[in-house]
Amino acid sequence: MLAVKEKVVNNPDRFTERKCDNCGIKERARMSTIYRGRKRRRSTVDLCKKCSNLSQFRKCAFDRTGKNSVNWNGGIRINNGYRQHYLGKGAYRNEQRIIMEKHLNRSLKKKEKVHHIDCNKLNNKISNLYLCKNMREHSKCHYELERCGFKMLGRYIWFNYANNSYVLNKTKCKRSEKEADFGKTMTRTHTKRFGSLSYRHRYLGNQKYKTIHSIVVEEMLGRRLYANELVHHVDSNTLNNSPRNLQAMSRSDHAICHFSLQKRVSELYIQGIVVFENGFYKEK
């Protein structure tokens, strides 16, 4: 009869039953695997294979997440400029929606959006919040914000040609290029509409047309426009192709340019020059 070998407690190759401290599943695992997992997580928490992979992906152990994390800030974080509150199980909710729900004493619908009147995403006072029925109405608020800025162009707001942005300055920002008037006098043109914008086109022959504002800018620059370049109309009038009203810039700079105009109008709102009523911005 063969003698049975005694089990060695400290044998790292010995299998034992491991209970996951996260999900409670029991499974067989080597002692060396358990020790290696504890060393990697720097804790005495035992995790199953599934939870261990999730812990490794998070770069931290389960016992050091959430309220146990050294970076815990009371469940508040800043994401995309918005202040968010922790609800549990990895879920966060924007603070402006929580405040609006408390003010209305009801839950907001998924399609409803909360607009910040002064464009400051961290200013969540109820007086600075406006409830929009849907995303379309919210986009309209930003459109009215820009529209109000274009109406005040030349009085409170000027366009800085040096950095492609709108500024609050009483001194007009002039451009250095030599100006010409051929932008408005080109012949044989027709107007083509793209969405809500209308552009004048010049006939090039063989039924081909090209936008006049691109022709004017290329004549001013002495070169063709790059593939990632756009032509910005300073006064938002897409039919005004005067050289002083056109500025070439990249697509990213074009988005920043429109954002700078909204920022200037929000500053005028804080100063009391602009008021907000029923989703519309207007000069006081």
pLDDT tens digit string along 154-197? 888 888 888 888 888 654 444 434 343 333 434 444 555 545 56
Closest among 172, 148, 177, 163 to 253, alpha carbons compared: 163
Q: How far apart are CA 45 and CA 62, in angstroms?
A: 8
3-state helix, strand, coil in the chain (%, to 5): 30, 30, 40
CA distances from 8 to 17, 23, 28, 34, 37 (A): 16, 29, 17, 16, 21
Q: Do 92 and 84 touch, CB atoms closer than 8 A? A: yes
The pair of three-digit structure tokens given for residue 8, joined into one six-digit string? 């060695």
- Amino acid 270 reads I
* 203 vs 222: which has the higher pLDDT: 222
Least confident range from 20-24, 96-100, 170-174, 201-205: namely 170-174
Domain coordinates of the chain in residue numbers? 15-65, 76-133, 147-283
- With a CB cutoff of 8 Å and minimum separation 6, the contacts of 261 are 146, 149, 150, 157, 166
Average pLDDT along the chain: 79
Whole-prediction pTM value? 0.65
pLDDT score of 249 = 93
Using the CB atoms, write b or e for 37-76: b if 16+ within 10 Å: beeebebebbbbeebbeebeeeebbbbbeeeeeeeeeeee
- Amino acid 205 reads G
pLDDT score of 200 = 73
CA distances from 146 to 177, 236, 280 (A): 27, 9, 11
Phi, psi of 212 (to 5 degrees): -70, -35
- What is the per-residue pLDDT across 120-132, written as a single tens digit (0 to 9) for each? 999 999 999 999 9
